[in-house]
Amino acid sequence: MRATWAPGRPSAQGAPASLRRPLPGDLDRVAERLVSRPDRPARDLAARLWPLDAWSAAARSLLVQVDRARRPAGRLAAFAAVVRHLLADPVLPAELLPPGWPGAELRDAYTEYQREQSGQVRARGGRT
């Protein structure tokens, strides 16, 4: 999964403590690293830093689109929109997400679509 950083000032970025990626060894030559803890609950801060309600609403709308799309071109267009939307998922730990977060459901729908498409290609003997 791709980690998403919360926007700060043009020269400042923040990331959740759950980001467990080793930092480049020479980072200290070009950047300053700071560790801080917010005064507000982490879930409130996440909701302030990322547009979680808007992302969730758009994901639910895409799930409806995907469910309604019947023709191949319509399904392709709907799932292309799903992929673009998943790229904007902040991939936060579950405890920071609002109740009913549709991220897993959207990823599952896309995974199923990939399976369908792979099955069709295999059924045609690998021809597209």
- Residue 112, H or E segment: helix 103-123
Q: Nearest Cα to 82, choosing from 52, 61, 98?
A: 61
CA 27, 30, 35, 39 dihedral sign is negative
Distance, in Å, from the CA atom of 79 to the CA atom of 62, rounded to the nearest integer, reads 8
User: What pLDDT does 69 receive?
Assistant: 96
Q: Nearest Cα to 17, choosing from 101, 104, 88, 92?
A: 92
Alpha helix positions (H), 17-102: 42-49, 52-68, 72-86
pLDDT in tens, 11-64: 556 666 666 777 788 888 888 777 777 888 989 989 988 999 999 999 999 999
Query: Quick one: tokens of 68?
Result: 């309604």
pTM beyond 0.75: the answer is: no
pLDDT in tens, 87-125: 999 989 999 999 999 999 999 999 999 999 998 888 888
The SS3 assignment for 38 reads coil
10 Å CB burial of residue 82 (0-12, 13-18, 19+) is: buried
